[in-house]
Amino acid sequence: MFETNFYILILLSISSTLVGLLGSTSIFVSLIVQRRVERLQEIFEDLINLSFNEEKNLTSEIYELINRYQMHYILPHGPSNTITWYIDFSIMLTISMWILAITLAIKGSIAPLTIFLLLPLVICFPILLFFRKLLINAINPLDNKMFNSILPSPVKLRSISYLSNYVNISVKALLKQSRLNVSIERKVSEKKHPSIKGKVVLKQELSFDDYYYYISIYDDKRAYFIGFGYLDLSFPPDSITKKPVPILRNINVNLGYLLWNNLNDYLTVSLLVFPLGDKNPIQFDYSMLRDGSFFVPHKDTRCFINQNIIYKIDNGNLKLIRHESNLPYLAKVFNFYSKNNERCFVQEPYRDFNKQRIQICSEPSKVQ
């Protein structure tokens, strides 16, 4: 039989050894994180450099960069699970030895002074748990807010609002690289909307999102369609690897429906993108010509930052400060913006524009 005091010393020695090994593990993890941060920053800087090349088609390069970023961002499951298991086992064993050592050291009844002396052990428990959370988040930062400021998730690289917070990134150039285009298509099936003859589709070669938008379809006489909302795309994990999908190519987003038969043969489409980190929207102007069951652009798309419109984000809501623009119903639309990831639209707003006439498009995004 061991003497009680000697056995307590053995337990404390073992637990101190385990704590020392945990410290060594934290150094190992910190080296991994440091190397990963350096590599991810290099990829992010490459993306920044590409964002200033507006005239070149760099869609494939941006797509590959974001996927390469995710490859370095997520560690393989095998090593991650092994390190996580070792951390959990070491902490559990250390805490068990502390409790056993204290139990053997206590003699007689528990006095108030005894409870006071146990406070250091009680304080150590949350510190160890926080240490565990810190290491696990460093190993696998996906969906963990603690390291998002240092290691933004791959999904953030497609967020226009997140990228707009960086002064050295041209969000307008990235949107041009996504090849934003608007298509007006005549519906083939009219089972769900028998009175609606066409739909408005936003086409993107790269699925950038996380921004408020406004779109109007009009001619010299009237506006036929007004759409507005907040675009926040979400993609399910890969069906085979179960890995998250940071970005997709050739995305079609349905923005709403309009009455086809009343349309003129020549239309103008104006699209405003409101990044949360800017004060002036990015405007795209399309000149559309009817071609059978479609309206197609017959001139080059005009893209510019509209300095005549100033907005701000107030508690997550879009507020208009000043505008000197002729875009139809723009000021009225700002009364109905909400960050509920809804795509709203109004058909023939010239008849009446009020809350009762606002419809919501719930059709999911499609890859084509």
Q: Distance between CA 268 and CA 182 in Å, rounded? A: 11
What's the pLDDT score for residue 213?
93
Same domain for 189 and 332? yes
Same domain for 184 and 83? no
What's the pLDDT score for residue 271?
94
If one counts the domains in the chain, the total is 2
* 159 occurs within a structural domain: no
Same domain for 49 and 93? yes
Q: Is 100 exposed, middle or buried (0-12, 13-18, 19+ CB in 10 A)?
A: middle
Domain boundary (152, 187, 213) is at 152
Question: Residue 150 carries which DSSP code?
Answer: T
Q: Is 74 exposed, middle or buried (0-12, 13-18, 19+ CB in 10 A)?
A: middle
| Encoded tokens for 204 | 């993107």
What's the pLDDT score for residue 34?
75
Q: CB neighbours of 192 closer than 8 A, spacing ≥ 6?
A: none
Q: Distance between CA 171 and CA 86 in Å, rounded? A: 43
Same domain for 177 and 145? no
What's the pLDDT score for residue 214?
94
Same domain for 210 and 120? no
pLDDT tens for the 368 residues of the chain, in order: 445 565 566 656 766 776 776 677 777 777 777 777 788 888 888 887 777 776 777 888 888 888 888 887 877 666 667 777 777 777 777 777 777 777 776 666 666 666 666 677 777 778 777 777 777 777 766 656 666 666 778 888 888 888 887 756 778 888 888 888 898 988 755 555 555 578 899 999 988 888 999 999 998 888 999 999 998 888 887 777 777 788 888 889 999 888 887 788 889 999 999 988 888 999 999 999 888 888 888 878 888 899 999 998 888 788 889 888 888 888 888 888 877 768 899 888 888 888 888 888 887 777 66
What's the pLDDT score for residue 236?
82
Question: What is the distance between the terminal CA atoms of the chain, rounded to a whole angstrom?
Answer: 75
Same domain for 251 and 114? no
pTM score of the predicted model: 0.78
What's the pLDDT score for residue 117?
63
What's the pLDDT score for residue 270?
94
Same domain for 96 and 225? no
**In terms of residue numbers, what domain contains 297?**
173-367
What's the pLDDT score for residue 228?
92
Same domain for 203 and 122? no
Q: Distance between CA 69 and CA 44 in Å, rounded? A: 8
Same domain for 203 and 140? no
